[in-house]
Copies of this chain bind each other. A is one copy, B any other.
């Protein structure tokens, strides 16, 4: 699947942007914004890999991931106003990102030989823990306590992927369906609340 790797880098970049802008909103300095963008982008995947004992961590073993993060931070520094105006676009990218990282996290955990129950948790952790660490560092109530549909949509998508995988569905279709379900749950939930999407 040639599309997977560029999507992974794009998702990482979007996470870095959202982390950097989350701090920028509250008038921290540039360094703090960059640091937060970095932690947001690496947090979920790093925690997953540390819990699974899988080394090297993705961003340490693959320099392209590091550069995607740095590019995201740079974009947040240069175009903060434009990016903040693109909130809806960013929200869609972020939603796409958590769907994608959920499934990738599940697959990585399975490939390391853990049980499906553990893989489902690792999929959710991959997607949401970067944001949780970001919110903890910046003394915010973590995102998943404020938006039920955030992490639970990921968990639902992870479980669906595992069920479809168990019944032998081909991987590409499974990814497409499971990611779509994560995205759909979140979009529907945000709409039902009749509130505007918020990046953090």
Check if A137 sits within 8 Å of B148, measured CB to CB: no
Residues of B with C-beta under 8 A to A148: 29-32
Please state the number of chain copies in the assembly: 3
Residues of B with C-beta under 8 A to A31: 144, 148, 151-152
Contact of A23 with B by CB under 8 A: yes
Check if A118 sits within 8 Å of B23, measured CB to CB: no
Given contacts A137-B136, A141-B139, A145-B138, contact A118 B60 (CB under 8 A): yes
Bound-complex Cα distance A142 to B114 (A): 32
Check if A32 sits within 8 Å of B145, measured CB to CB: yes
Residues of B with C-beta under 8 A to A138: 141, 145
Q: How far is the CB of A116 from the nearest CB of chain B, in Å? A: 10
Bound-complex Cα distance A53 to B55 (A): 7
Contact of A50 with B by CB under 8 A: yes
Given contacts A63-B117, A151-B35, contact A132 B141 (CB under 8 A): no
Contact of A66 with B by CB under 8 A: yes
Q: How far is the CB of A98 from the nearest CB of chain B, in Å? A: 14
Check if A144 sits within 8 Å of B60, measured CB to CB: no
Residues of B with C-beta under 8 A to A38: 121
Bound-complex Cα distance A23 to B53 (A): 29
Give the residues from 102 to 155 in chain A that come closer than 8 angstroms, CB to CB, to chain B: 114-115, 117-118, 121, 132, 136-139, 141-142, 144-145, 148, 151-152
**A31-B148, A63-B117 known, 8 other contacts, Cβ within 8 Å:** A29-B148, A35-B144, A35-B151, A50-B51, A51-B57, A53-B55, A132-B137, A137-B142
